[in-house]
Structure 1
Amino acid sequence: MIHSKPWKTCAVVLSLGAAVHTGEARALTPTNVTKVARVTGATPSGEFLPNPNQTHTNYEVMGTDLGILWDKGGGEIFALFGDTFGHGWCGNGGCGGGWRSNVLAKSSDRTLADGLTFSTMIQDTSRHAKELLYSKKIDNDEITVIPTAGVTVGSRHYIHYMSVRHWGDPGKWDTNYAGIAYSDDNGQNWVKHASARWQNNAARTNPFQMAAFVKNGGYVYLYATPNGRFGNVYLARVLEGALLNINDYRYWDGNGWSASQAAAAPVVMGIAGELSVDYHTGFNRFLMTYLNEHRQAVVMRDAATPTGPWSGEKILAAGTSFPGLYNAFIHPWSLSGADMYFVTSQWTPYNTFLMRATLTDDAFSDNLLSEPGFETQAATPVMAPWWLVGNGGVDRGVGQARTGRNEGFVRYNSGWNALKQSVAVQPHTDYTLRGWVRTSANSTEGYFGARGVGNGPIVGEVPFGSLTNYSQLTVTFNSGPNSILEVYGGIWAKNGDTWMQLDDVSLTRGANLVGQGGFEQQPGATATSPWYVEGKGGVDRGLGFTRSGANNGWVRNDVPGWNALKQEVAVTPNTQYTLSAWVKTSNTLNEGYFGARMLRGGPILNELKLTQPLGGYTQLSVRFNSGANHSVEIFAGVWANNGDTWLQADDFVMTRD
């Protein structure tokens, strides 16, 4: 990319040890990060890294960035780069002569311990890497076209790219649109599809301008951010065969999949730039990496399912060790063992490098909060991803932490003083927040809890007074309509100099995986996300037909055929689950079913068959194994074979055994 120099310094945390735990999806953390080899450019004096590609002489690639990697089939990967310079390169960042907006390499190298060796690069003349996607190279019109992701489906290859209008301040740029290009000749030539595009808006805030692709379960998942490096992460998906059909994309709205892009809700809170997402088959976890400018580091998150919940950030590589680092594109062939390889860029010397991290079990497990113990905070008062209201900071190595070396604190003689962090959540879902708090003896009014963004409504909190020793506080709450929440711990200083210390904070999702299992949050009589209906059905709102609460779901028909309430639920592969719900039916029922199956009408995983009417609410329960799936479809329905037939259902619960 041609853009301003990024940050210079930040913190890094390293630890040792690793093991691959197959079968169970465990939370992970990266450790022991090392630079393995140079991928592009010439070796400067004093550098002793392997440099297998010698791209400066072999392909006139003297300076470049990115290095997006994906399996292209045929025993090769593609390695896709951004703004590239040859003879006349300025030698310090993205500038100079021989400019191509994007170039592409191939590799069949599976021995990554000594570097990433190219088979070749796509060339337009001998020993000259070809520009794949044309750009106007006119500032405030289209200054460049930068690739952000790649994927292969069958024999067709796809590139997600952004049309950059203007480079702005460090980490900021404007795009015209994002689009998809494709190649049917093994990457030699590419076509920008005319309608497979996400147009940016006048405010330059469209959330689908930079992307990462992941294939899973017959879909291509598209993780995306707005232009620049300061947005949240959003998610869409499309069937593998429909990548170029923009109207076929469905957007994650926090509960389910919507046809409306405007309904998209974050799956991860930024600050995020240059995404990479892939699936680790050894650990059964999805991995996400990106640059967080505020933390001045490339970070990693992980999740058991594509929609999350995603863990908090863990530092993968940082500027103190690798100055000017700004991406980490995961190598798809390094995702079965403990060692994960990835390609990174450094602004100076504006080239790319292969790096390695060892993945180990995360002591904080499925914690959704980043920096829970404040251990990788760079320096007081640097707080990201936490932020401060009032006065406070981070105690670093002063012997006041509950565990580790650091803890957060607030301290002042008046007013509200608090530590806060934003987190993406699923609406209308149960969560548990925990943290360890200690205060001064004169503290009389403190609060620990969660609320809507911008000091929005409180969804749960616990008050506390003076806590002379670290005490664990616990808040269980429902997220309500929110897809983003602020967690906080703070005190009102009313008695002179007053302080609070906070450490080891965690947020975890409740056990029930069914969204809106009691239908209480459904806005109308028509079932909406996350519920959907096959045949005829909807929601009874306040009609007195429920098992509990005000609402229930229903299906009813007097025409022969299948009628069902359905919901897609994210699961961990090869895991046992129990699904239950309360159901009653008309006395005409003679064939009904309750259970779980694979998506899109796939095989049944397990079900109960109903052959007799249920005159009153009766709890039904089935156990099933998720198999190789990351999502399943749960259902309760009837065949209307005997005249007017109906089913009512309420209080769905699905838990991992």
Structure 2
Amino acid sequence: MVVRRWRTGTVGICALALSLCAPVFVPATAHAEPCGHSSPGSSGLSADGGSQSSGRPSQNDQRALPSAGSGPARTVAWVTGVHSANRTHDRFTVSGTDLGIMWDNGATGADRRVLMAFGDTFGDCSLPGEQWRHNIIMRSADTDLSDGIDILDPVPGDIHSGTSLLPGTSDFSRDLVGSLAVDGVEKTVIPTAGIAVDGIQYLNLMSVRKWGGNGEWWTNASMIATSADNGESWELRPETVRVNVPVEVPGVEQVSTGNENFQQHAYLKHDGYVYDYGTPQGRFGAAFLSRVPEKQILDLAAYEYWDGGAWVPGAPDRAVPIVPPTVGELSVHYTGDKFVMLYGSEQAAGIEIRTSASPEGPWSPPTKVVDSERLGGGMYAPFIHPWSSGNDIYFTASRWSDYNVMLLHTTVP
């Protein structure tokens, strides 16, 4: 199958298989107002793409960093937004964004970085289109997380600098992988997981057909993109498409029941395998598990699926839930003696942590580490920093009302 390389971020998953993307009817969408009106976003916000009215502020109305009080987690610092020490509005033209999926780029010495993938992003709210991008990347070399995550300065042409820049600019983070940007067909393409193997970066993305109510959206498929230059440019890999059945794609042989449970992902490297934790579209499903030898991550036929007692090759329909609903965006980390899982729970209205002695479980009962209402509501998408040490867990999370990303800290119970 032909592999296509997109340097400008103008083409998304649906452009590789347009039969994925027939328009469908879905219910009305939810709204939030990071730019003073209904705006898109991977928090479940709807996209309108309309022109701007006069007098709109150029920056998102981000509030002060909230305090978590005396709970299990504490807030550390904003990572993005006009109130962040990173000054992302000035340095990256990023007034609002979410997610902040983190992974170690696998390099050594001075080139070692933590790569951070963000979802739908906007810049100047006063401009038509709000300088919207579907996904961006930032880079950090910060080893002291006690006061936040420092993002490196952006430098044109430098693949180890703070972001991938739009050509001809010195302060504009650009799209990594674009989208058709048609509501009900493919509205956006959102990163869900990242990992490095042998110097190659692997980024899993979901093609979002349409946003729904809070925590609800519909996907066409998920797919892996690869980068050989530290996340600067990306290749979409059509052989890794996991179609959200019952959508059928003529000519794509891997379509099978079970792939609907791997529309969003979380990656973990352990003992020569990449463990791939999957959830369905939205935030109301269970978590499932597959694994694949590291060097075969692009070969869907090489994946094994956990059926509750054994690993079953090539059968995503045999995967059983390892964590019951409701599991939102999740991340998994190995401390050296235990596995730690963080995820947002719509049912618990917050972020929960579980631990296990093995990647497949059994997983401990959940402990609530973040009460969403205590932090002002709308907390989602906890992603563990890969350089967290021992039982000290640093993780990012997004707050819907601010539509920006913060860093938090907790201790493994």
Tell me the TM-score normalized by structure 1: 0.48
SS in 1 for 2:321: coil
Match of 1:271 in 2: 326
Which structure shows the bigger proportion of residues in helix conformation?
2
What's the offset of the Cα at 1:267?
0.9
Match of 1:214 in 2: 268
1:186 equivalent among 230, 255, 275: 230
What's the offset of the Cα at 1:311?
0.7
Match of 2:401 in 1: 348
Tell me if the contact between 1:41 and 1:54 (Cα under 8 Å) persists in the aligned partners: yes
Q: C-alpha distance in 2, partners of 1:245/1:89?
A: 45
Q: C-alpha distance in 2, partners of 1:160/1:5?
A: 21
Match of 2:58 in 1: none
What's the offset of the Cα at 1:3?
4.7
Tell me if the contact between 1:13 and 1:315 (Cα under 8 Å) persists in the aligned partners: no
Q: C-alpha distance in 2, partners of 1:227/1:169?
A: 13
Find out whether 1:228 has 2:282 as its counterpart. yes
Q: Which amino acid aligns with 2:145?
A: L
SS in 2 for 1:329: strand
Tell me if the contact between 1:36 and 1:114 (Cα under 8 Å) persists in the aligned partners: yes
Q: Which amino acid aligns with 1:160?
A: N
Q: C-alpha distance in 2, partners of 1:233/1:4?
A: 19
Match of 2:170 in 1: 126
What's the offset of the Cα at 1:5?
6.0
Q: C-alpha distance in 2, partners of 1:353/1:89?
A: 24
Tell me the TM-score normalized by structure 2: 0.76
Post-superposition Cα deviations, 1:439-480, rounded to whole Å, max 9, x if no partner, equal xxxxxxxxxxxxxxxxxxxxxxxxxxxxxxxxxxxxxxxxxx
The one of the two structures with greater contact order (alpha-carbon pairs below 8 A, sep at least 6) is: 2
Q: Which amino acid aligns with 2:276?
A: L
2:385 equivalent among 291, 311, 331: 331
1:137 equivalent among 166, 175, 181: 181
Match of 1:151 in 2: 195
Q: Which runs of 5+ in 2 are unaligned?
A: 1-40, 47-66, 153-161, 248-256
2:100 equivalent among 62, 67, 71: 67
What's the offset of the Cα at 1:81?
0.4
How has the CA–CA distance of structure 1 residues 263 and 355 changed in structure 2, closer, same or farther, with 3 Å as cutoff? same
What's the offset of the Cα at 1:89?
6.8
Match of 1:83 in 2: 120
Which has the higher Rg, Structure 1 or Structure 2? 1
Identity across the alignment (%): 40
Q: Which amino acid aligns with 2:396?
A: V
Q: Which amino acid aligns with 2:408?
A: M
Tell me if the contact between 1:89 and 1:98 (Cα under 8 Å) persists in the aligned partners: no
Q: Which amino acid aligns with 1:299?
A: E
Q: Which amino acid aligns with 1:214?
A: L
Q: Which amino acid aligns with 1:358?
A: T
Q: C-alpha distance in 1, partners of 2:322/2:126?
A: 39
How has the CA–CA distance of structure 1 residues 223 and 157 changed in structure 2, closer, same or farther, with 3 Å as cutoff? same
How has the CA–CA distance of structure 1 residues 61 and 298 changed in structure 2, closer, same or farther, with 3 Å as cutoff? same
Post-superposition Cα deviations, 1:510-556, rounded to whole Å, max 9, x if no partner, equal xxxxxxxxxxxxxxxxxxxxxxxxxxxxxxxxxxxxxxxxxxxxxxx
Post-superposition Cα deviations, 1:604-646, rounded to whole Å, max 9, x if no partner, equal xxxxxxxxxxxxxxxxxxxxxxxxxxxxxxxxxxxxxxxxxxx
What's the offset of the Cα at 1:122?
1.4
Q: Which amino acid aligns with 2:211?
A: W
Match of 1:36 in 2: 76
Match of 1:451 in 2: none
Tell me if the contact between 1:83 and 1:100 (Cα under 8 Å) persists in the aligned partners: yes
Find out whether 1:162 has 2:217 as its counterpart. no
Which structure shows the bigger proportion of residues in strand conformation?
1
Q: Which amino acid aligns with 2:114?
A: I
2:303 equivalent among 230, 249, 255: 249
What's the offset of the Cα at 1:2?
4.1
Aligned residue pair count: 326
Post-superposition Cα deviations, 1:152-205, rounded to whole Å, max 9, x if no partner, equal 001100001100001111111100001100001111000110111111013898
Q: Which runs of 5+ in 1 are unaligned?
A: 7-11, 16-30, 44-50, 361-657
